[in-house]
Amino acid sequence: MDFIKVDQGKCTKCGTCVAICPGVIGMRETGPQAIRNLCISCGQCVTVCPEGALDNKNSPLDRQVPIVEDSVLNSDIVAQFLRSRRSIRNYQLKGVSRDKIVQLLDIARMAPTACNSQGIAYYIVDNPDTLQQISATVIEWTASELKNSPVMAASKYAPHTAMMVEQYRQRSEDVVLRSAPCLIIAVTNKDSFATGRDNTYIAFSYLQLFATSLGLGTCWAGLFEYCAASGYEPLIKLLNIPINMQVTSGMMVGYPKHTYHRLVERNPLQVTWQYC
C-alpha cells in the first residue's frame, strides 16, 4: 500500500486528506498513510491538500491543475447559463472541427462516474453519408417496432414516434439526427453496461452544457440510442463498434441555426420536507 506519498517537510498533519477519504487514508504519528488498498483513483486527497504535500500514484500531483480563486462564477450567471441550454434540432450547414469535438469530450470525461469507473469511449461520425445511413436505419427499426412491438405500441409516445417516421418518409426530414453534422456515440463494455449508461448520461450532460460556451448546440439522439440498445443488427453492423462494447447513448453536435430569446419555464418544483 505505497500509493500515498507524503512530503514530510510540507505536511502539517491537518487531517484534511483523512477527512476526505476516511476508509483509505489514516493519520499516523508520521503523518497520513494508506490504510486500505481500496483507492478508486478519484484524486480528492491530492487536490484537497492545502500544502500540496500529498501525492498519490493513482492520481499524481503533477497531473493536477491549480484552481484559480477568481474563476468561481457568480450564481446568477451560472443559473442563467444552465437554464439557457436547449436541445438543438436545427443546425447550420457548417461542420464542427475535430479539435472542438475533442475539447467537448475532454470536459465530458471530467464528469462524475460510479466509483470513478469512467470507462466510456467515444466514436465520432462526421461523414454526411454515414449520418444519413444511420438515420435511415433507425427509421427502419422504429417503423418495425411500431408495427410489431406491443411495448412500443402501448407507449404514450407512439403517436409522436409514428409522426416522426411519417415526416422522415414523406418529407425527407431527418427526425433522427436532425441533419446535425456530427454524432458522438458513447460506448461502454458490455459487462458494465448499466453503470456505463448512467455514467454516459452524466458525461453527456457536462458535454451539452460546455458545448453552449463554444457556440455549439447539441441534442440527445434518443431514437438512435434505443435502436442501438436493442441490438438492431443493421445499425450495429454500420457502426462498426467492437463486439465487446455496447452503445450507451448518442449526442448530435453542430452550430445552432436559431438564437433563443427567452428562458423556458418547467413544471412547478415539487419538494417535500420530510419528518419536520
Ligand X SMILES: Cc1cc2nc3c(=O)[nH]c(=O)nc-3n(C[C@H](O)[C@H](O)[C@H](O)COP(=O)(O)O)c2cc1C
By CB under 6 A, name the binding residues for ligand X.
86-87, 89, 219-223
Q: How far is CA 251 from CA 119, 246, 255, in A?
A: 17, 15, 13
- What is the spatial distance between Cα 70 and Cα 262, in angstroms, rounded to a whole number? 29
**Looking at beta carbons only, is 24 or 177 nearer to ligand X?**
177
CB of 79 to ligand X, least distance (A): 15
CB of 209 to ligand X, least distance (A): 11
- What is the spatial distance between Cα 238 and Cα 232, in angstroms, rounded to a whole number? 10
**Looking at beta carbons only, is 89 or 109 nearer to ligand X?**
89
CB of 219 to ligand X, least distance (A): 5
**Looking at beta carbons only, is 94 or 160 nearer to ligand X?**
160
For ligand X, the nearest residue by Cβ is 222
**Looking at beta carbons only, is 83 or 237 nearer to ligand X?**
83
Rg of the chain, C-alpha, whole Å: 23
- What is the spatial distance between Cα 145 and Cα 164, in angstroms, rounded to a whole number? 13
CB of 28 to ligand X, least distance (A): 47
- What is the spatial distance between Cα 276 and Cα 274, in angstroms, rounded to a whole number? 6
- 73 Cβ neighbours under 8 A, 6+ residues apart: none
CB of 191 to ligand X, least distance (A): 23
**Looking at beta carbons only, is 3 or 220 nearer to ligand X?**
220
Beta bridge partners of 256: 91
Burial of 201 (0-12, 13-18, 19+ CB in 10 A): middle
**Looking at beta carbons only, is 128 or 222 nearer to ligand X?**
222
CB of 100 to ligand X, least distance (A): 21
Picking from 234, 253, 203, 211, the residue whose alpha carbon sits closest to that of residue 91 is: 253
**Looking at beta carbons only, is 6 or 239 nearer to ligand X?**
239
CB of 202 to ligand X, least distance (A): 12
Give the length of the chain: 276
Dihedral over Cα of 129, 247, 156, 271: its sign: negative
Beta bridge partners of 188: 246
